[in-house]
Structure 1
Amino acid sequence: MDILGSLIVGLSSGALYAVFGVLLTLMAVLTRVINFSQVAVGVFGAYLSLRFIPLDLPGWAIVLIAIVASAAISCLLGWIISTWLGESSTTARSAVTVATLLGLISLSFIVFGTRPQPNPPLLIGPIVSFGTIAVTKVGVLMLVVAIAIAVLAKVVLTWTPLGVRLRAISDRQTAAELAGINVRGLQLLVWGAVGGLSGLVISIVGNTQAGSATSMIVLLIPAAAAALVGAFTNLWLTITGGLLVGGLQGVLTSFPEITLLRDWVPIIVIVLFLLWNQRKEVWDVAR
């Protein structure tokens, strides 16, 4: 495959990273939580619907069940954090999601094993082809979903009363409660919506990834790299970061002698941006 074709394939994966990066960023902005279990929640909900729901159901019904299951798991986690860690630091709140991630990985291994689960084909094949280069339907849809979420979030947070309340909760939860805002209800709304979207995305891409539940959870790493590019605050930079990571991975597959480095791209991006974010402190010490 030539470099251009590899790049396009990589951008399709990058669009998926961008979606989860956007969801991670939204959680960080609205709930002050770096939700390390975000992908795991979506994977567990989606694979739960495949494991225990009769496969004679139509594809849309299985996807709906996956969305509900993922939203319920996410709401439970959000309820725990909002109840006992309402005024805690972002670090403390995020630590709970690390424990949840490890628990869901272990539980996925026990419940689903290591074999790929049969996923109903929702979107397969290319949307357009140029010789050996194909732009997949799933890749285009993931990019559209990432952009749509970013636009919708911007509109809601900037121009609606709901957005004002959500920003107030994120900045000062106790003050928001004293102002009469239903803090817990709105926080659970955010947790449920983001969790449901995670389940939806995994249901759509699951049949193209052909992976086990535990291997799908690894999508967290490139998604976190994408979110870090946007500093967990800028949705557009996050989308760019996801495409950047996916594109670099795709290009590397064109060079057999270094193709193994593709798995290191998200780690390298994370390290570079962490170093970049700490540059001011280092320079101040040097001066």
Structure 2
Amino acid sequence: MNGLLTAAVAGLTAGGAYALLGVCVVFTYRLVAVINFTAAAIGTTGTFVLIALHEAGMPLAPAVLIGIAAGTLVGIAIGLIMMTWFAEANASSKAAVTVALLVGIVAVGLRVTGGQHPHHFPELFPGSAFRLAGVEVTLSSVLTIGLAILFTIVADLLLARTRTGLQLRALSERPVAAELIGIPVQHLSLLVWGITGAVTTFSLMIIAPQRSPDFMSLSLLVVPALAAALIGLFRNFWMTLIGGIMTGVVEGTTSVFGSLSQYRGAVPFLIMLAVLLWLQRGARWDEAR
């Protein structure tokens, strides 16, 4: 039982990152109507900029800031691509474009970073925050979950109670009409892409030391993020937050069971399958009747 609790607590760090990435995916989808498969790859790019600078001898703090700036710029560049050539495309086409961009970013990233060659990821926040039922809860776990909650609160308040939030909702729901009434559509869209790029980069910088140290593995963290977003139906920030944390916890607990630990990477896919089947239950029931 203690081993199960330890594994569940260990999954909180990943769960916090999944939640934060998932909320960013929902944020992008709600505001610019794009399912962003490149979310984790954007953050990975900024993270590897940090690693390259740190390995070259730059102090950690400025390397972190430059890495976050790099992730922000990559996010803005992808947003510019989507707005320039695919603004009028449907949701499926936009999603397909971001998948293609993900493949391209991963291919370039693997080439630049030496393929599967492992790198040393500096721990931004080492140490323990407190003990829970005799189990050490790391500072990284607390910080990722705290950031996920903070971003969720900010996103909710921004959309519900600010003029900018009203403009962003108009941008998502009626982009042409929003542009006709004078809303700065392009600037707001790039702002959304830049914010998500910065947030995903920082979250991956925190979780990277606990993951496989290569470009592809970090980029594919978009899969559990999408599982969390699907739990929130790509609309509800709070359900996405809970879904991301629970995905990390379930993934962590599988490591206790020897025969299942090798399949822990399949947990997000199983969660997505379960959610999709649950969403189809009404249609299946109607057909059965």
The answer for the alignment partner of 2:31 in structure 1 is: 30
For 2:239, which of 237, 240, 244 is the aligned residue?
A: 237
Q: Structure 2 matches for 1:132-143, cutoff 5 A?
A: 133-143=135-145
The answer for the alignment partner of 2:197 in structure 1 is: 195
Structure 1, unaligned stretches of length 5 or more?
Answer: none
Partner Cα distance (1:91, 1:258) in 2: 34
Shift of 1:237: 0.6
Structure 2 counterpart of 1:49, which letter?
L
Secondary structure of the residue aligned to 1:284 is helix
The answer for the alignment partner of 2:259 in structure 1 is: 257
- Relative to structure 1, the CA distance from residue 130 to residue 280 in structure 2 (aligned partners, 3 Å threshold; closer, same or farther) is closer
For 1:204, which of 198, 203, 206 is the aligned residue?
A: 206
How does the TM-score come out when normalised to structure 2?
A: 0.94
Secondary structure of the residue aligned to 1:127 is strand
C-alpha deviations, 1:48-75, integer Å up to 9, x for none?
3322566332212111111111111111
Say if 2:112 is the partner of 1:108: no
Shift of 1:131: 7.9
Contact in 1 for aligned 2:19/2:243 (Cα 8 Å): yes
My pick for the range that moved more, 90-99 or 45-54, is: 45-54
My pick for the range that moved more, 249-258 or 29-38, is: 249-258
The answer for the alignment partner of 2:153 in structure 1 is: 151
The answer for the alignment partner of 1:10 in structure 2 is: 11
My pick for the range that moved more, 196-205 or 49-58, is: 49-58
Partner Cα distance (1:100, 1:276) in 2: 30
Contact in 2 for aligned 1:72/1:192 (Cα 8 Å): yes
For 1:224, which of 222, 226, 236 is the aligned residue?
A: 226
Shift of 1:258: 2.5
- Relative to structure 1, the CA distance from residue 209 to residue 262 in structure 2 (aligned partners, 3 Å threshold; closer, same or farther) is closer
Shift of 1:13: 1.5
Partner Cα distance (1:161, 1:130) in 2: 42
Partner Cα distance (1:192, 1:40) in 2: 14
Structure 1 counterpart of 2:68, which letter?
I
Q: Percent identity, aligned pairs only?
A: 35
Partner Cα distance (2:55, 2:137) in 1: 32
The answer for the alignment partner of 2:50 in structure 1 is: 49
How many equivalent pairs are there?
287
Contact in 2 for aligned 1:86/1:173 (Cα 8 Å): no
Partner Cα distance (1:199, 1:181) in 2: 28
How does the TM-score come out when normalised to structure 1?
A: 0.94
The answer for the alignment partner of 1:80 in structure 2 is: 81
The answer for the alignment partner of 2:69 in structure 1 is: 68
Structure 2, unaligned stretches of length 5 or more?
Answer: none
Contact in 2 for aligned 1:252/1:262 (Cα 8 Å): yes
Contact in 1 for aligned 2:156/2:237 (Cα 8 Å): no
Structure 1 counterpart of 2:255, which letter?
T
Secondary structure of the residue aligned to 2:131 is strand
Structure 2 counterpart of 1:28, which letter?
Y
C-alpha deviations, 1:239-278, integer Å up to 9, x for none?
1111211111222222223322322211110111112222
Q: Structure 2 matches for 1:87-98, cutoff 5 A?
A: 87-98=88-99
